[in-house]
Amino acid sequence: MDQRMCKHDAEPGDLIEIFRVAYQHWGVYIGDDKIVHFSPKGDDDNGGEIALMDGPGEVKCEDIWDVIGRSKFKVNNQLDDEYESHTPKTIVEEALDMVRKELQYSLTGFNCEHFATYLRYGVAVSRQVDQAAQNAADLAAALLSLAKTVLSPNTE
């Protein structure tokens, strides 16, 4: 079934989380089935692979269904409990002011989630980057523990 036939409950200023294969893409819903989102320059982010580059990025305003493609998505204003959101009018105006601007894209420093949360809260946050960093730290600690066990045999 074509998702365009479905309804969504997004309101202007809401953050939209789009579930890709290995990551989530984020944008800001501005109304009239339009979303403003940020991605590496030349990346259409319509379900493609994760951008593993740092470099020029671009802000686009597109039809929400074109950006979502066949992916699942949800409204996710997850930081509302931690940060005060701007008014929907301010979020939409600032999002539209950013369209066609080129910004520096960084997978870990300033990606689509950082961009979207900055527009809504005035704070650039990426929970998926934070979680990936925590997972890497946990893996490193487990590997270090394993290496110590293997390299320091029990002398009992």
Gyration radius from the chain CA atoms: 19
6 classed as catalytic: no
Which of 8, 25, 86, 114 is the catalytic position? Answer: 25
Query: Cβ atoms within 10 A of the Cβ of 98, count?
Result: 19
Q: Which member of 6, 8, 86, 112 is catalytic?
A: 112
Q: H or E element: which one contains 37?
A: strand 34-40
Check residue 63 and report its DSSP letter: E
Q: How far apart are the first and last CA of the chain?
A: 65
Task: Please say if 112 is a catalytic residue.
Answer: yes
Distance, CA of 51 to CA of 30 (rounded, Å): 24
From the list 6, 8, 37, 86, the catalytic residue is 37
Q: Which residues are catalytic?
A: 25, 37, 112
